[in-house]
Amino acid sequence: MSSWNEAWDRGKQMVGEPLAKMTAAAASATGAAPPQQMQEEGNENPMQMHSNKVLQVMEQTWIGKCRKRWLLAILANMGFMISFGIRCNFGAAKTHMYKNYTDPYGKVHMHEFNWTIDELSVMESSYFYGYLVTQIPAGFLAAKFPPNKLFGFGIGVGAFLNILLPYGFKVKSDYLVAFIQITQGLVQGVCYPAMHGVWRYWAPPMERSKLATTAFTGSYAGAVLGLPLSAFLVSYVSWAAPFYLYGVCGVIWAILWFCVTFEKPAFHPTISQEEKIFIEDAIGHVSNTHPTIRSIPWKAIVTSKPVWAIIVANFARSWTFYLLLQNQLTYMKEALGMKIADSGLLAAIPHLVMGCVVLMGGQLADYLRSNKILSTTAVRKIFNCGGFGGEAAFMLIVAYTTSDTTAIMALIAAVGMSGFAISGFNVNHLDIAPRYAAILMGFSNGIGTLAGLTCPFVTEAFTAHSKHGWTSVFLLASLIHFTGVTFYAVYASGELQEWAEPKEEEEWSNKELVNKTGINGTGYGAAETTFTQLPAGVDSSYQAQAAPAPGTNPFASAWDEHGSSGVVENPHYQQW
């Protein structure tokens, strides 16, 4: 610990003799290191770097030169790709489980199990029951615990369970298979809310669309890659191969994720000071403070029209997404007369186009906002309603056309147009309530999952007796999207809601010291530093009323009180 004289000298250099007394006395009484000995937020932590070999290796490659928020988005994209690829494994494998089949080499394989296709479908759908249950709790967990850890946990554990799933099949226990599927759904249900919690700390407002869509594009890329890859592995290797491949890849990804991602920019040991200050200054205090269960404005959330606009939009998008994910191949076979073997790659094209549109839409949305061409509200409404409106119109063409080629082209265009909506409703949580973004995502995604559970039953009811029932299926999907367009256009907002502002007493509670060094948090880095009690002998007029915002001079107001109208230009103020 520094001597009183060293602290005195340091204080004089920064703000002059009046505040030097406060600096020295506070350092002496609390046992905190003086400013010059406190680690700068976001600078490399040698101890952590020494113990984190993976991070150390990555920092020595070109990857280490990437901006950390974009590295986070790319890794999240890979995580979602694995998560949604896992969902394709069961559907591809089940056709080789209950009936005999001939592989591409001409060898005939006898079926291993006596389950019917209906029984296997029930086991497959059990994933979504677990997925639904954790949506809203995941929002609370992401607000309570480090959301990056929660995201890695969801995908890592889900991938490990995928490795165990073939064992459940081989012991011929439908209960064990269903249990593993439900558990997979439970742990992977936290991923979307957790990622919104990550962006609460890492996404500057004018980059939210780009960063979020970069991450979420992995969901669609996962389906694009997962469908043909799972089918290939099942045909050329074995029905268990996709489970093992995705499971191992997911576990490896999780290890990498835990090693190189951190809850906040302030906790990252190798982030540049420039990037850290840029993110924290842009985000500000609203999304950087921690809500508690008691402080969450539940009534305001459930009665907020902008929140319900997001929920309705999520339901509409989820309806069509699950409709195609579960029934697109069946539609091509029954309504268009195509062979399943010929339609696999064709079925992936709509999702591939959508993934490209999502990335393009995110870039365009943030360009319009950052250049003040359109307001955030206007951008969200135009992208969401334009995307949904285009999708609904093309769905009508799919419903009523008699041309197979027209139906395929309209289907590709419909799904592609929906990609623009991701830059609307899917990032809107961060606009209206960044502090509660994970909780709002849990609500909206939970209701969206209900669409995934309901859609198969409705589709089966329409198509059970005639292929003409597909007209009703796509007509209903179009009407649901037109409803989403109308509701979102009227009630959506891109502005921070009044109820999303932190209460004054909550701001005070978030500024309490949690250890003697003044570091707020459980990991590396200081989120904010403040003295809650000055030692005896120091004038109470120097009591800090609020922790300094990132990038501002914490001593500016006190300096002005003592006769200077200038701002203290000292690089060391960032250490506080």
Q: Which run of H or E residues covers position 101? A: strand 101-102
Please give the CATH number for the structural domain made up of 299-494.
Answer: 1.20.1250.20
Report CA-CA distances (Å) from 83 to 88, 315, 330, 415, 571: 9, 20, 23, 20, 44
Instruction: Name the token pair of 317.
Output: 């998008």
Alpha-carbon distance of 290 to 242, in angstroms, equals 40
Whole-prediction pTM value? 0.70
Q: What is the pLDDT of residue 339?
A: 67
Of 508, 489, 493, nearest in space to 547 by CA = 508
The three-state secondary structure class of 109 is strand
Domain ranges (residues) in the chain: 4-38+507-575, 51-290, 299-494
Report residue 109: phi and psi, to 5°: -115, 130
Give the count of alpha carbons within 13 A of 540, CB side only: 2
Alpha-carbon distance of 360 to 336, in angstroms, equals 31
Tell me how far apart the terminal alpha carbons of the chain are, to the nearest angstrom. Answer: 16
CB distance 278 to 272 below 8 Å: no
pLDDT at residue 124 greater than cutoff 70: yes
Based on the number of CB atoms within 10 Å of its own CB, is 311 exposed (0-12), middle (13-18) or buried (19 or more)? buried
pLDDT at residue 340 greater than cutoff 70: no
Stretch 46-69: mean pLDDT, rounded? 74
Q: What is the pLDDT of residue 291?
A: 66
Q: Do domains 51-290 and 299-494 have the same CATH topology?
A: yes
Residue 569 carries which DSSP code? -
pLDDT at residue 576 greater than cutoff 70: no
Count of beta carbons in the 10 Å neighbourhood of residue 161: 24
pLDDT at residue 475 greater than cutoff 90: yes
Q: Which run of H or E residues covers position 102? A: strand 101-102
Which residues make Cβ contacts (< 8 Å) with residue 402, sequence separation at least 6? none
pLDDT, averaged across the chain: 78
Most confident of 17-26, 27-36, 367-376, 443-452: 367-376
Length of the chain: 576
Condensed to tens digits (0 to 9), the pLDDT of residues 208-263 reads 888 988 998 898 888 888 878 888 888 888 889 999 999 999 999 999 999 999 99
Fold assignment, 51-290: Growth Hormone; Chain: A; (1.20.1250)
- Maximum distance among all alpha carbons in the chain? 91
Q: What is the pLDDT of residue 88?
A: 85
Condensed to tens digits (0 to 9), the pLDDT of residues 279-334 reads 988 887 554 556 677 778 889 999 999 999 999 999 999 999 888 877 787 788 78
Give the count of alpha carbons within 13 A of 432, CB side only: 27
CB distance 175 to 119 below 8 Å: no
Alpha-carbon distance of 109 to 384, in angstroms, equals 48
